[in-house]
Amino acid sequence: MPHAMEKPADFHHAASLLRFETRAFINGQYVDAISGETFETSNPATGKHLAHVSSGQAPDVDCAVQAARQVFDKASWSGMPPRERKKILLRFAELIEKHSAELALIETLDCGKPIRDSMGVDLPDAIETLRWHAEATDKIYDQISPAPRDVVSMIVREPIGVVGAVIPWNFPLFMAAWKFAPALAGGNSIILKPAEQTSLSLIRLASLASEAGIPDGVFNVVSGMGPTAGRAIGMHAGVDCVSFTGSGEVGRYFLKYAADSNMKRIVLECGGKSPVIVLNDVVDFRHAIEGITTGILFCQGENCSAGSRLLVHESVKDQLLSELKTAFQAWPVGDPLASSTRVGALIEKEHLAKVMSYIKSGKQDGATLAYGGQRLYAESGGYFVEPTIFDNVKNTMKIARDEIFGPVLSVLTFKDTQEAIQIANDTAYGLAASLYTNDLNAAHRVARSLRVGTVSVNCYSEGDFAVPFGGYKESGFGGKDKGLAAHDQYTQSKSIWIQLR
């Protein structure tokens, strides 16, 4: 086991010394893909090759499912006393913390996000997520239903079995932790499929699960392509549940896979086009400006709950927009390994092209480009784009309807609160919304009127680990991540009716 890396003074130097593990982790071992095939992962900030990663396919997924099933049936993890499982999961969290500088560096290299975020957000939040769910392991009670005196009617929670977790590239470790923490706490075995762009951190993490004492076969990582490895997880008859985070398009595939195979449980966390509403009673814009800026620029806007539609009362728009432009200047775009960088590189060339094509469509559709709009540092080989604001956007325009997944903000105006609610809800998505107001009544009323899974008021937030997260409408399906609600994804309830004689 390599020694834990200290927080390096120079991340470039530390990066040059890194050696990546690139094989799948199945049944407690790193293994090549059975086919021997690999695919390439690169650094979005340079466009350069990072590593060749094992390209897992259906036979590799099958090996992982078999290992996961065997250990589940043996009950060495699923049947372990909850308090023991908790201790092991807390040890796992401690090991991740010990190795967090290395994991954060891998994340930034593979994903293009600022090191400031992977060190300051992704890693600490993943660790705290794991701790929170670990702590819940021995605190979740079963139920006894009202029944006649000579009957004991129990409703017991049992682990669902073998869980597939299919992960996106924007928060590889953090999104994975949302899933593996409650799944493991409940006693399940898990097979994680990272996105092909960003497999390295999860592959590295897997050996820490073993080191913590999680039995072989309980925690597996199969890297590979969506249509092969991802599909194989979705179609496998030995998988009991798939928890997916990613696009709606692929989310729908999983519903089909379940229908075409064993009716496995499917939970989907999909995209969003989240509105940010600023009412005209806001006198001090400081919090709004901070929240709006973070909401669209954090993680380069590659964030499912990015606040990408700013709905502002027409009477305060000009002032807000002028302050917003100043705030955007304080988010430097650049080298993700520089500690001052707040906006890193987009994930890949194709995605950069997609974001640029949305910027073009905004101009063509008659919106006013108020800030940014250019590709940056093309000579670096990286996929950087300027934070961008479009003014005079109509909610019918493509830039207001599609999830751009980049640092592109659309500004729309409204005349009264009713109109703001109507525009906010006029979307196929329903993941999140933010609202800025000083009026307590408006805060409650508007929050209740928004058809979304999470509303943050006077801030940009998804709430902490204790708060369930998931979307309404096409943003989610079947369950929630985070909070105790997450445990429901990975457990099933059994009713036991005992007639006393």
Does residue 303 touch Mg ion according to CB under 5 A? no
Strands 274-278 and 432-436, sheet pairing: parallel
Among 51, 95, 250, 258, binds ligand NAP (CB under 6 A): 250
336 interacts with, out of ligand NAP, Mg ion, none, CB within 5 to 8 A per kind: none
253 interacts with, out of ligand NAP, Mg ion, none, CB within 5 to 8 A per kind: ligand NAP
112 interacts with, out of ligand NAP, Mg ion, none, CB within 5 to 8 A per kind: none
- Identify the CA nearest to 85 among candidates 128, 138, 126, 130: 138
- Which one of 304, 348, 403, 474 is the catalytic residue? 304
Extract the runs of DSSP E, i.e. beta strands, from 79-226: 143-144, 151-159, 162-166, 189-193, 219-221
The answer to whether the beta carbons of residues 58 and 27 sit under 8 Å apart is no
User: Nearer Cβ to Mg ion, position 39 or 219?
Assistant: 39
Q: Smallest distance, Å, CB 389 to ligand NAP?
A: 21
Stretch near ligand NAP under the rule CB under 6 A, chosen from 65-73, 139-147, 268-276, 329-337? 268-276
41 interacts with, out of ligand NAP, Mg ion, none, CB within 5 to 8 A per kind: Mg ion
Q: How far apart are CA 305 and CA 470, in angstroms?
A: 10
Q: Is 269 a catalytic residue?
A: yes
Does residue 197 touch Mg ion according to CB under 5 A? yes
Going by the DSSP 8-state scheme, the letter that residue 66 receives in this structure is H
Does residue 41 touch Mg ion according to CB under 5 A? yes
Does residue 196 touch Mg ion according to CB under 5 A? no
Residues β-bridged to residue 313: 414
Q: 3-class SS at 391?
A: strand
User: Nearer Cβ to ligand NAP, position 249 or 379?
Assistant: 249
- Identify the CA nearest to 301 among candidates 330, 268, 340, 273: 273
Q: 3-class SS at 157?
A: strand
Does residue 405 touch ligand NAP according to CB under 6 A? yes
Going by the DSSP 8-state scheme, the letter that residue 383 receives in this structure is -
Q: What backbone torsions phi and psi does residue 470 show, to the nearest 5 degrees?
A: 175, 165
Among 190, 276, 289, 431, binds ligand NAP (CB under 6 A): 431
Binding letters toward Mg ion, positions 93-112, x by CB under 5 A = -----------------x--
Does residue 168 touch ligand NAP according to CB under 6 A? yes
Q: How far apart are CA 190 and CA 180, in angstroms?
A: 7
Got the DSSP string for 87-118?
Answer: HHHHHHHHHHHHTHHHHHHHHHHHH---HHHI
Does residue 234 touch ligand NAP according to CB under 6 A? yes
Among 111, 167, 235, 433, binds ligand NAP (CB under 6 A): 167
Does residue 245 touch ligand NAP according to CB under 6 A? yes
Does residue 400 touch ligand NAP according to CB under 6 A? no
Q: How far apart are CA 431 and CA 275, in angstroms?
A: 10
**Which residues contact residue 353 at a Cβ distance below 8 angstroms, ignoring those fewer than 6 apart?**
none
Q: How far apart are CA 62 and CA 314, in angstroms?
A: 57
Stretch near ligand NAP under the rule CB under 6 A, chosen from 40-48, 162-170, 277-285, 307-315? 162-170
Q: Is 211 a catalytic residue?
A: no
The residues annotated as belonging to the active site are: 269, 304
Q: What is the contact surface with ligand NAP in residues (CB under 6 A)?
A: 166-170, 175, 193, 195-196, 225-227, 230-231, 234, 245-247, 250, 253, 269-272, 304, 403, 405, 431, 471
